[in-house]
Structure 1
């Protein structure tokens, strides 16, 4: 089995959404370049199989590992968002790939592993894949499902998760295409060892997970369930190796792209940080909210200035709907418009003194600490006792206390 690589063009500035008119929002959680990997001579143990007609309504297929079903999935022809319904079999105890990950697990425990070290430590995992072309990145994923709930809660029967959508819809229009963001467990909740989670919480290096694309925004987590649980308890993101299959055509047909043996991957390249690597969330964004943010980027960043519904100088006014205010709050935050976001604060106090608005605005504002003017806004928020939301007040207070330590 051989693995070779090709490095796609990647603009390090692209995470600053408001600086690039051609921004692809799918890079906002990306820590590394896009690396294409070509696998030849793989065992093909991990694969999607048996796509077939599902009654008169759509198609069905299964994902298997070495003969064991990981999941069955169903897609309705008439679904405007191309959502998949699936049944998870939680077969981690039958997936022997964990035996192949000892070197990888050792590598990611380092304080700052090299990208080449991570790639080389995963060769034994790549050997399980079908021959084909794969996209390899390291991304900050959310340890939740598309509804914002902890991902590792075991669910029986058919599972409906908005995050399986291939084409998120907001305001009756397509809001772009999906990218790796949410997790799907491969082990049952009963396999979580809470003492181990507590030990990891005390560790300085939690490490990262290993995922394989499932459907839409969702990714099967093959390694790292305990580490993901730690990230959730800390309201943080969870860095993961993301493997996305691109093509299973004859790998020789891809030779027009210059693939290089993996052993020749550049030395000295570290895993960087994404735009959200250091963020914490009182409420993780749902799939609907991601579609909302993508819609904001399209209408208020990419659009000509005269057509934009939001201006930086006057980002909000009286009489907007609750959802429109949240659309603006999230849009300004995720496009890193710090000054405009701060200017929202007195307008929100005056026109929209509602707990749901306060919760969204101030919980996101926490991520711009330790900027002095942000500290002052958050301190005054607590002093003025604006909100009756105890969770929000505690979240803000803890963030301020950490700055003062």
Structure 2
């Protein structure tokens, strides 16, 4: 196996020889074999071990084993403890997904703070088969059937061409020690059910089932590559950049056949999974929304607006009297001037002595009203938005500049009459929205 691994690295992953590598090491069979192979090739590695604190003394034993292995090999060992169950509860996800999120977040931090260039994980051919079957059971597109990618950004999986049987044979022949994870034997997890109950039956069907599967998966991956190129060309044609979001004409989508497959290809990367709901937006009333974990799609008249979920909803930002520039949540330039020198929607001139600092930048809330510049009387902000024909996303992104809870400026839209410059004004504040 060592010679096969050496040839694989030289042919397909030569960059590993020129970089320091962070090897994810659980202490189990797969990662210990990968560590031995890398050391045998003279690759420059460091170990990263995650203690998820899920198996008590057994988890601590795994940590000690990896630390001792690192000392024996003379390589640095990074270790971190995680409150995995708490993280899973707080984020409403499974323990397995929580552990995955936590470890890859940590690996990224290590890469950012060390000279390591890549993360190596010990996924192998059997892992790819299990992932294929999991995705197949849940319903998936070609992405889910194309297997675990060998290279995914800074994460590299050099053992994917090898079976677990090959890894086990190599470990025994080289007298490699490893730790057994007792949870791997439990069939309460879907992956373990597939590993222990389904995969053995599939391998009984044909003596070269795994090799045949890898060839089929490679073909699927190549077909998926062709499809992705086609989808990228389609996105260039129908995705229109719009105020930091993406606008898509519904009529352009209706012309796509088959529609379901094209919707999946266009929006799968944005985390959407409820495809009947996505399709339903095409005929829904304006204002109807569909959410993923990271994005939202809104029906707006004859278009869909795709936007990233905002993390600043409900937040307030302060503008102090000494500020000359604000960079978030919107970019504003503040100047003391002597006269009104221009008229534009992105510029407002205010009587500075009528303002109470710090001013506050916040989003619109129901019930807000102001006195539009040049008009008599007050107007609800919601009515102003309607008159301006603003869509739902634009309304939510609109910022209000306020003084003592009074709206001074609907930023970039309309100033308030109460803070205007008049004959009695002695100090003028000019605020410019920078786009």
TM-score by length of structure 2 reads 0.23
Q: Which has the higher helix share?
A: 2
Q: Which has the higher contact order (CA 8 A, sep 6+)?
A: 1
Give me the TM-score of the superposition, normalised by structure 1: 0.25
